[in-house]
Amino acid sequence: MKILITGGAGFIGSCVVRQALLDPNIQVVNVDKLTYAGNLASLPETDNNPNYHFSQIDICDAGALDDTFTTHEPDVVMHLAAESHVDRSIDGPEAFMQTNIMGTYQLLEASRRYLANQTLDRQASFRFHHISTDEVYGDLEGPEDLFREDTPYAPSSPYSASKASSDHLVRAWHRTYGLPVLVTNCSNNYGPYHFPEKLIPHMILNALAGRPLPVYGDGSQVRDWLYVEDHARALLRAATHGDVGETYNIGGHNERTNLQVVETICALLEELRPEKPEGINAYADLITFVTDRPGHDLRYAIDASKIERELGWRPAETFDSGIRKTVVWYLENPEWWQAILSGKYQMQRSGKGS
């Protein structure tokens, strides 16, 4: 099986690539523009791997996509390439509209052109798997409410609105053109190789440096946290065993407030890295409450019973086990995140793997 993965140098995409390559019967074509969030250093397992090919292209480039499809003839497309940081979408929404909406459109059309020249058997077995977010649903009101596959869309930020738009495009191409698609919507991911601007790595690295730990509002916003390796397993399961036209919600069953997440990180660092920067008595003393984000959703939580029931997937990690693994990874891999903080990683953008 040959899988074309867009955004395979990003946080979730690189984890999917790493897990897919554990199977010697899977070949991976990684398509990534290598924006600021793409990092080939997140793919050490791909060195000299004959089952891996990397193409540095923009998914908005129709010609480059056509060339890639013609050259590699994928059986499955897993579409993870996206602008994904909510704060960045508030400050500069245009890039989100371009990549998340127009990029998805170009990829759908490239898939359609590619399938038009394939045999009926290959057309029938092809899958376009669109990876999305639970943020398209907006937020939840009651403490017992959960996002389900039929929850109405109510996006709150430019980021979530652009992802909602891409979800609608994918389903429209299925209904109008018969493109064999499936969609997954996930909760907040965390784990190794997470770009330092995101909440969990940002807090870990700020604490290690003795800098403030900024928490929006009073930190009461609730998220369902999903360990990235659990998510990657779910995505590969959905891509290879999911039913055409279906949507599967993927969650970790791990609801925590943002403040609880930060306090957990501080407690783990007290245990694992007790030597603090000068002048710091306790990591928790660095917690600083800042003005809340505009339109900040209060609570996300996913009902993942459908993918558990129909595809046999369940998360292996609890939040406690996953967050410990994450903190340990950042403590043991400073060369990865130091290259990002210094900007050095942006100079290491060679065409790795072929």
Dump pLDDT digits (tens) for 122-157. 999 999 999 999 999 999 987 789 999 999 999 999
Residue 155 pLDDT = 96
The CATH number of whichever domain residue 56 belongs to comes to: 3.40.50.720
Q: Catalytic residues, which ones?
A: 134-135, 159
Say how many C-beta atoms besides its own lie within 10 A of residue 205's C-beta: 17
287 in any annotated domain:
yes
194 in any annotated domain:
yes
Say how many C-beta atoms besides its own lie within 10 A of residue 230's C-beta: 23
119 in any annotated domain:
yes
Check pLDDT > 90 for residue 85: no
Check pLDDT > 50 for residue 351: no
Residue-averaged pLDDT of the chain: 95
35 in any annotated domain:
yes
- Which structural domain, as residue segments, surrounds residue 243? 2-347
Check pLDDT > 90 for residue 166: yes
Residue 296 pLDDT = 86
* For range 220-234, the mean pLDDT: 96
Confidence of residue 20 (pLDDT cuts 50, 70, 90): very high
354 in any annotated domain:
no
Dump pLDDT digits (tens) for 198-210. 999 999 999 999 9
Q: What percent of the chain has pLDDT over 90?
A: 91
Check pLDDT > 60 for residue 261: yes
Task: Indicate the number of domains in the chain.
Answer: 1
Residue 349 pLDDT = 56
Check pLDDT > 80 for residue 347: no
